[in-house]
Structure 1
Amino acid sequence: MRKIAQLMQPLVDQNILLGKEMVVLYESVQQFIVAEIDGEIVGYGALHVMWEHMGEVRTLGVIDRVRGKGVGHRLLTALEQHALRLGLSQLVSLTFEVEFFRRHGWRILPDAAPVVAADVYAELLRSPDEGIAEMLDLAHVKPNTLGNTRMLKTLRPAAAGSAPAAAGAAPAAVAGSTRENAERARDERLGDED
């Protein structure tokens, strides 16, 4: 997680990502996937389950050297596929990178639009998770989210017999963030498509 925090810092400094305390990163280690090239972590992202049908894509970023080379695309695709495997049907994200998410089928949630039904909203208010408070647009987290856009994607499982979105390509993302997963991904190569 220290390496991910180190890679995040330039994006935090550029106001592309919201900063996270190290303890928050460690508490969410199981939510992260990473992308590697020749053993070097070049991208990362997390999937946080919010409710029985909904998750949030968090802390998605790539290093400058690989921007525009498909790493972010593959990470987002892997997170979306993982969400489907978990039975989630909707994903939300709080982002400064609106066009990137739009290219991947996400849409902007209007400011007044509820993210969830009223009964679920009432339950989510009980969460101590700051990310959920940010997504719900609660007043006490407003200073952290100025300029961010709430986005939503409705997931649809692949039709029977159809190939997965990244079929034929070596996966850029590795489920989990354990040393074993990182070592398993070390030799995987990334394509140049976006």
Structure 2
Amino acid sequence: MDIKTYKPNLTDIVAMQQLVKTEVEKGIILLRTSDEMATTIRSYTAIEVDGVLAGFCALHIHSVNLAEIRSLVVSDKFRGLGLGKRLVKECLDEGKHLHVKEVLSLTYQKDFFEKLGFNVISKESIPEHKIWADCIRCKHFPVCDEVALLYKLEN
């Protein structure tokens, strides 16, 4: 089995949207339009298994000190192979390279992120610009049951 991570390009957007479609419909992941994905394509990391797109996530920079791992998805077909963990680690490495101090995750997968070293924080401590840029667009807003977690990077 050949597994590799890579930085996707604009021609990957359609496949990425197809992969995340079910999670978006369930309200687990926020919808990102093609244009939105195009303007942030550099923030994404994708993973493929034997040449097939198996998952992706993004490291979104909010400020000099804070980034966020978002849109993490792994195809049902490829779950259980540690691909999600590998994607998160790639994003953390990228954050470290950029000298970000903290990485946020808003998720329903609390245990997954805790195993990777993230710690639960109060949602009230999340920067206001995150709430108004993303959360307000979610179908669950303002009654959010996601868990906020933070990872402190050592640079």
- TM surpasses 0.5: yes
Quote the residue 2:26 is aligned against: 14
Is 1:78 the counterpart of 2:90 in the alignment? yes
CA distance in 2, matches of 1:27, 1:56: 16
Q: 1:98 aligns with which of 80, 87, 110?
A: 110
Specify whether residues 38 and 142 from structure 1 end up closer, same or farther in structure 2 by C-alpha distance, changes over 3 A only. Answer: closer
CA distance in 2, matches of 1:48, 1:95: 15
Quote the residue 1:28 is aligned against: 40
Instruction: Name structure 1 gaps, 5 residues minimum.
Output: 135-139, 158-194
Q: Which digits, 9 at most, give the CA deviation of each residue in 1:80-139, with x for residues without a partner? A: 000000001100111111111111111122233x235xxxx6xx48x9x723xx3xxxxx
Quote the residue 1:150 is aligned against: 148
Query: Which structure has the larger Rg over C-alpha atoms?
Result: 1
Tell whether the 8 Å contact from 1:17 to 1:96 is kept in structure 2 after alignment: no
Quote the residue 1:51 is aligned against: 63
CA distance in 1, matches of 2:90, 2:138: 30
Tell whether the 8 Å contact from 1:108 to 1:149 is kept in structure 2 after alignment: yes
Tell whether the 8 Å contact from 2:23 to 2:29 is kept in structure 1 after alignment: yes
User: How well do the aligned residues superpose, as a CA RMSD in angstroms?
Assistant: 2.2
Normalised by the length of structure 1, the TM-score is 0.66
SS state at 2:123 partner: coil
SS state at 2:16 partner: helix
CA distance in 2, matches of 1:26, 1:144: 25
Normalised by the length of structure 2, the TM-score is 0.81
CA distance in 2, matches of 1:4, 1:107: 28
Q: Which digits, 9 at most, give the CA deviation of each residue in 1:10-49, with x for residues without a partner? A: 2223333222222211221111110011111101010111
CA distance in 2, matches of 1:34, 1:47: 11
CA distance in 1, matches of 2:64, 2:138: 26
Quote the residue 1:37 is aligned against: 49
> Higher relative contact order at CA 8 Å, sep ≥6: structure 1 or structure 2?
1
Structure 1 segments (4+ residues) deviating >6 Å: none
SS state at 2:28 partner: coil
Letter in 2 for 1:153: Y
Instruction: Name structure 2 gaps, 5 residues minimum.
Output: 1-12
Q: How much does 1:143 deviate?
A: 4.2
SS state at 1:51 partner: coil
